Every structure is written in C-alpha cells, then in structure tokens.
Amino acid sequence: MVKKYFTKTYEWLDERLDLTSLSHFIEKKYVPVHAHSIWYYFGGVSLFFFLIQVLTGILLLFYYKGSADLAFESIQFIMSKVEFGWLIRSIHAWAANLFILSVFIHMFSVFFEKSYRKPRELTWVTGVFLFFMTLAFGFSGYLLPWNKLAFFATKVGTDIAGNIPIVGNIMKGFLRGGDDVTGATLSRFFGFHVALFPGIFTILLVIHLIMVQRQGMSEPMETEGTPETEKKSMPFFPNFMLRDLLLWLIVLNVLAILAVFFPADLGEKADPFSSAPAGIKPEWYFLFMFQTLKYIPAKIFIMDGELLGILLFGFAGLLWVLVPFWDTQSSKGLRNRKINYIGLFAVGFIIVLTILGWVS
C-alpha cells in the first residue's frame, strides 16, 4: 500500500522533473578503492559538521540576543534555564572545533594526494576559501558569548587586521564598527556569523560539490596508469553512501559524548575596563599564529615585527590558495617531492607551535 503511493508520487515527480536522469547519474557514480580511500570520508564528515552547525545555530537563535548588554545573560539563560539549552550550545561549540579539525584533515589529505592537480585546480581553490570561511566562522562565533576571553581575542584579532598595509585601518574600523571593540562589534560579528558567512559559505560549498560531482573522485597518482579493468572501485550509491552515513553516526556519538561530559564553558562577562586575564589564549586553531607572533621581536631592521608576521602569514596563505598553479609537475603526472616536504613542514610547524602555545 505504502509502496504503491511511493511509486505513484515518484512517477508524478518524474514526469515533471525527469528524476530518472538523476538516478542514472547516481547509479553511474563510482568511488575508487585503494590504499588511501579513507581520506575520501573527511569531506563528507566536514559537510556533516556544517549541517549540524546550521541546525544547532538556528536553535540557538531562538534565545540568543546579540547585544553587549544581553548576549552574555542570554547564553547564561540558554545554559541554565532552557531545557537542553546546555546540550544545543555544547554541541554547537564542540562541532565548531571538530568541523575545523575535519576541514584541516580534509585539506591536508587533498594536498598530500595532490588531488588539486589538473583538472581540479578550482575545486582546490574553492576548498581553501571554504577553509578560510570556517576559520572566519570560528572567529566571529567566538565573540558572541561576550565573555572576557572572547573580548580580548577579538581585540587582538581585529588589531592584527589593522596592521595590514594600506587597507588595515579601514578594515579594522569596518570589523569593529568603530575605533574599539564594543557592542557595535558584537552586532557586526553576529550579522557576519549568522547571515553573511552562511550565505557565502553555502554558495562556495555548492560550487565545490558541483565540481566534485562533475569531475568524479580524484584518484591517487600511483594508480592513474593502471588499466581500467584492474582498478578497484565501489558504487557511490549505496555502498559508499552507507559507509559515509555510518561514519556520520559515529561522529554524532562522539559529539554527544563530548557535549555531555565536557559542556561548553561561558567564563566571565566581558568588561572593556579590566585587564586581559593571565593565560589568555585564542582557540586552538589560531594558536600556531598566536605563538609565532609571540616569538617575532618588536622590530626587525626597520620593520615592525608584527607587520612582518602578518605579511608572512598572508603570503603563505596566498601560496596555499595557488598551489595547483605553481606545482605544475604534479599536473603532468610527475612526482613532486618538494610538495611533500612543504606539506610536512606546514603540518610540523602548525603542530609544534600549537603545542608550544598550549603549554606556555
């Protein structure tokens, strides 16, 4: 009976929307199977975290108030009075961290597999911009509880933007909504976090996913030469998708455990007229940059150390976006060991400085 209705509905829609061609496309979609197949899953996991963030973010919006007088209190209310408020917020906070971690892993696995090589250059570029957007989400969302740590982290972060040559001051004013970090900054960050960034992110994500669908999964360079008949693969639907969903389920469980046993902290309310507390640190994903800035001396020759640090990180970021365009060897199918060394240096640098930042 149910099946009959289902078939009828499908036929009704198919007549109007030509669903058959879509199902043919899905049937024909295969995922290569090889020693490094596991890395394929991190894109999907990142997507899952984004969906969780959208859902929990919308739920938080029902109670959150984005003003300097009310933000902290509204989160206190969510955490203590609203039923399961603590759970929703803790999942949002944990998923944010795991989202960024998963994007890091996804990005570096793509880098080491050199999956950005021709014809997937633009998939890489959109991916790196999505990565920057996740960091922007993290930075803007961090301020919203309006606590002390967030207040000073935002002061530092926006002041760094202010140090960028030529456009720095305009950018700082634009981000802060004035000269200092105030309620105006909170309003802006709230707008960025819940409207502007999700909009941009969704557009980039759709482009990224369309490109992945159009080009299919990238294969490792080692198996590229083998004849089609010897290559192993599995159908995307249902084999790969079921594996994906199983992993999503595991991730959801991990998230629930973390949120229940380590609920998100709120700290003290921000006070623009108090000193920065001892032991202040940014979120872990900014720690490596924070720690690097600590080591750079005030002046290097005639240049402010700060400016040098910002320029170096900016330049590294630009090189990172443009990897497919300067690593021309990989696109020709040639091994490029330099890329591995650069990747290893980047991973090592990030890990070592993060640990140093953590323990200091």
Q: In the complex, which residues of this chain contact another protein (CB under 8 A)?
A: 152, 155-156, 158-160, 173-174, 176-178, 180, 184, 272-280, 290, 293-294, 296-299, 304-306
- HSE on the CB side for 336, CA within 13 Å? 21
Q: How far is CA 36 from CA 21, 111, 249, 270, in A?
A: 31, 13, 22, 46
Q: Look at residues 127, 327, 118 and name the one whose alpha carbon lies nearest to residue 218.
A: 118
Question: Of the two residues 173 and 235, which places its CB atom closer to another protein in the complex?
Answer: 173
Question: Of the two residues 199 and 238, which places its CB atom closer to another protein in the complex?
Answer: 199
Vertex 30: Cα angle to 28 and 33 (nearest 5): 160
**Nearest approach, Cβ of residue 145 and another protein (Å):** 18
CB 138 within 8 A of CB 285: yes
Question: Of the two residues 74 and 291, which places its CB atom closer to another protein in the complex?
Answer: 291
CA pair distance 140, 134, nearest whole angstrom:
10
**Nearest approach, Cβ of residue 347 and another protein (Å):** 24
Give me the residue label for tokens 């002046």: 299
List of E strands, the chain = 30-32, 233-235, 299-300, 303-304
Question: Of the two residues 168 and 235, which places its CB atom closer to another protein in the complex?
Answer: 168
CB atoms within 10 A of CB 1: 5
**Nearest approach, Cβ of residue 192 and another protein (Å):** 12
> How do strand 303-304 and strand 233-235 relate by DSSP bridges?
unpaired
Question: Of the two residues 222 and 271, which places its CB atom closer to another protein in the complex?
Answer: 271
Residue 178 phi/psi, 5-degree rounding, is: 155, -165
Question: Of the two residues 121 and 304, which places its CB atom closer to another protein in the complex?
Answer: 304
**Nearest approach, Cβ of residue 261 and another protein (Å):** 29
**Nearest approach, Cβ of residue 211 and another protein (Å):** 29
Residue 141 exposed, middle or buried by CB count within 10 Å (0-12, 13-18, 19+): buried
Residue 85 phi/psi, 5-degree rounding, is: -60, -45
**Nearest approach, Cβ of residue 360 and another protein (Å):** 8
CB 71 within 8 A of CB 78: no
Question: Of the two residues 32 and 168, which places its CB atom closer to another protein in the complex?
Answer: 168
**Nearest approach, Cβ of residue 307 and another protein (Å):** 9
**Nearest approach, Cβ of residue 201 and another protein (Å):** 20
Question: Of the two residues 41 and 151, which places its CB atom closer to another protein in the complex?
Answer: 151
Amino acid identity of 355?
I
CB 91 within 8 A of CB 84: no
CA pair distance 86, 343, nearest whole angstrom:
39
